[in-house]
């Protein structure tokens, strides 16, 4: 087991967002623990502020390790690692089922029947070794028609009646995230939303960045819809909080034991827009690092510097989830942000299996990019992401291999 010792920022180190005058005090901790448990919106669930994202999970030992450090929310899906993720969660947590919150997901499509959704749920329950999941999400919703399907409402009502799910959810990181979440909220279809949201999408952070370098705020509506959800008592869990998670790029700049990942988590948790942050945990040292961000309601002075540096490295490489400004530029109607997201899994996370599974699940793959001569998408991103080069790269990675 690989272990690292992290330094935890002491309470004297915390400052308000956008403040810049308090120095950092560090306190050595070798085994960080979860320090804060939060109510999840208006549900009766209470969860750890740092949650275990299981999209890359196949090892039950990691789940148990995180549980022993106080993590109580585990977020999996039927599609993660072809069901292996759910099986690992089930193997690790079946003996402590009443002490943890387990969420799973199915990709309920627009034309799918409630019977098919129930079969998917029951298969998940078998792999999870449990009679119920606390939250069941419609997974990666990228079009309102998936929430408009009346079969989803019929299915969730029936599954709740039968005690197989406790709360209904929607997860989203597609280009129509705001529209989908607005619809789900207006029609009372969700109790919890799992939403892609990172520090660089926070207007408070963007405001500060403008003084440092050119950066365009792409999603003024995202914060509005998150606030609307919170006002309705909908629980909000953030994902994709590390903006591409290029952690190794940031190691040379990390000081006094505080890491970029912790800074990114602290920023999202301190902003008051989300209840908890779910983050993929793939190693014991990573678990310690992420849990080290638990308990903070404010960010540290040093956090802003790390996040600003990361943004300057990543802003014209990272496609912000939920944006979609460029979509109409493609005559083939390719879902550019979704293609860039699965490319990121391979190019940035280094997770080939996750990337290939994501690419295969796309409604429209990047095949058309191989012979696209004019490339009308080429200048469509306000943050200068080289869309045509990246979509072609995705086609080469996933279709030519």
Q: What positions carry a catalytic annotation?
A: 80
- Structure tokens belonging to residue 339: 């293609």
Backbone Cα Rg of the chain: 20
Q: Is 48 left (phi over 0), alpha (psi -120 to 50) or beta?
A: beta
Residues 6+ apart with CB under 8 A from 38: 46, 47, 48, 49, 275, 276
Residues 208-247 that bind ligand SF4 (CB under 6 A): 218
Q: How far is the CB of 358 from ligand SF4 (least distance, A)?
A: 16
Beta strand extents in 86-191 (DSSP E only) = 101-106, 133-138, 165-172
67 within 8 A of 92, measured Cβ to Cβ: yes
Shortest distance (Å) from residue 175 CB to ligand SF4 = 6
Nearer to ligand SF4, 219 or 262 (CB): 219
Applying CB under 6 A, the span of 51-59, 126-134, 300-308, 382-390 interacting with ligand SF4 comes to 382-390
Q: Residue 258 gets which letter from DSSP? A: B
70 binds ligand SF4 (CB under 6 A): no
Close Cβ partners of 12 (under 8 Å, ≥ 6 residues apart): 22, 25
The whole-angstrom separation of Cα 384 and Cα 214 is 11
Place of tokens 């996933």: 398
Q: Are strands 26-29 and 6-9 parallel, antiparallel or unpaired?
A: antiparallel
Tokens of 98: 């009443």
321 and 171 in contact (C-beta within 8 Å)? no
Interaction between residue 369 and ligand SF4 (CB under 6 A): yes
Q: Which residues contact 378 (CB under 8 A, 6 or more apart)?
A: 386, 387, 388
Nearer to ligand SF4, 125 or 377 (CB): 377
Q: Smallest distance, Å, CB 362 to ligand SF4?
A: 12
376, 368 in Cβ contact below 8 A? no
Shortest Cβ 216–ligand SF4 spacing (Å): 9
Residue 41 as a binder of ligand SF4 (CB under 6 A): the answer is no
Does position 196 bind ligand SF4 by CB under 6 A?
A: no
Residues 6+ apart with CB under 8 A from 21: 15, 301
- The Cα–Cα gap between 349 and 110 comes to 30
**Can residue 71 be called a binding residue for ligand SF4 (CB under 6 A)?**
no
Nearer to ligand SF4, 223 or 330 (CB): 330
Residue 200 found at the interface with ligand SF4 (CB under 6 A): no
Of 27-35, 88-96, 241-249, 371-379, which segment contacts ligand SF4 by CB under 6 A? 371-379
Candidate ranges 149-157, 220-228, 263-271, 335-343; the one touching ligand SF4 (CB under 6 A): 335-343
Whole-number Å distance between alpha carbons of 274 and 288: 21
Tokens of 77: 């899906």
Instruction: Identify residues 137-176 at the interface with ligand SF4 (CB under 6 A).
Output: 175
Provide, rounded to whole angstroms, the least separation between the CB of residue 340 and ligand SF4.
Answer: 6
Q: Which two tokens stand for residue 104?
A: 């799973």
Work out which of 385, 393, 397, 398 binds ligand SF4, going by CB under 6 A.
385
Asked if 386 touches ligand SF4 (CB under 6 A), the answer is: no
Q: How far apart are CB 271 and ligand SF4 at their closest, in Å? A: 20
Q: Please, what is the minimum distance in Å from the beta carbon of residue 160 to ligand SF4? A: 35
- If one asks whether residue 376 binds ligand SF4 (CB under 6 A), the answer comes out as yes
The DSSP symbol for 371 reads: G
Among 172, 295, 337, 358, binds ligand SF4 (CB under 6 A): 337
Quick one: 135 or 330, whose CB is closer to ligand SF4? 330
Number of residues that bind ligand SF4 (CB under 6 A): 26
381 contacts ligand SF4 (rule: CB under 6 A):
yes
Give residues 271-330 in contact with ligand SF4 (rule: CB under 6 A). Answer: 319-320, 323-326, 330
Residues that bind ligand SF4 (CB under 6 A): 175, 218, 319-320, 323-326, 330, 332, 334, 336-337, 340, 368-369, 372, 375-377, 381, 383, 385, 387-388, 391
């Amino acid at each position: 087991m690989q272990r690292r010792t992290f330094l935890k920022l002491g309470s004297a180190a915390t400052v308000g967002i956008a403040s810049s005058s308090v120095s950092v005090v560090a306190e050595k901790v070798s085994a960080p623990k979860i320090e804060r448990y939060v109510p999840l919106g208006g549900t009766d669930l209470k969860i750890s502020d740092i949650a275990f994202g299981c999209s890359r999970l196949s090892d039950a030992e990691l789940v148990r390790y995180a549980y022993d450090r106080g993590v109580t929310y585990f977020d999996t899906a039927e599609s993660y690692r072809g069901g292996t993720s759910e099986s690992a969660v089930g193997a690790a947590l079946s003996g402590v089922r009443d002490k943890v919150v387990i969420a799973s997901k199915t990709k309920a499509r627009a034309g799918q029947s409630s019977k098919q959704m129930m079969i998917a749920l029951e298969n998940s329950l078998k792999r999870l070794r449990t009679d119920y999941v606390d939250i069941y999400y419609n997974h990666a919703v990228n079009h309102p028609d998936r929430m408009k399907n009346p079969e989803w409402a019929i299915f969730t009502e029936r599954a709740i009646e039968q005690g197989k799910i406790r709360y209904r959810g929607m997860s989203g990181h597609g280009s129509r995230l705001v529209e989908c979440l607005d619809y789900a909220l207006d029609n009372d279809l969700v109790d919890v939303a799992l939403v892609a949201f990172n520090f660089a999408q926070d207007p408070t952070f963007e405001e500060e960045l403008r003084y440092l370098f050119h950066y365009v705020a792409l999603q003024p509506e995202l914060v509005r819809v998150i606030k609307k959800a919170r006002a309705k008592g909908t629980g909000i869990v953030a994902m994709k909080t590390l903006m591409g998670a290029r952690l190794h790029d940031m190691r040379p700049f990390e000081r006094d034991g505080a890491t970029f990942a912790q800074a990114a988590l602290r920023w999202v948790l301190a902003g008051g827009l989300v209840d908890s942050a779910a983050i993929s945990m793939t190693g014991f040292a990573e678990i310690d690092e992420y849990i080290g961000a638990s308990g903070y309601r404010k960010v540290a002075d040093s956090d802003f510097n790390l996040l600003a540096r990361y943004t300057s490295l990543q802003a014209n490489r990272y496609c912000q989830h939920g944006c979609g400004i460029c979509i109409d530029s493609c005559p083939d109607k390719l879902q550019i942000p979704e293609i860039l997201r699965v490319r990121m899994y391979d190019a940035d996370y280094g997770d080939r299996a996750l990337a290939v599974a994501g690419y295969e699940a796309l409604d429209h793959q990047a095949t058309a990019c191989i012979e696209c001569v004019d490339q009308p998408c080429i200048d469509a991103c306000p943050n200068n992401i080289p869309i045509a080069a990246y979509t072609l790269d995705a086609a080469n990675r996933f279709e030519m291999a």
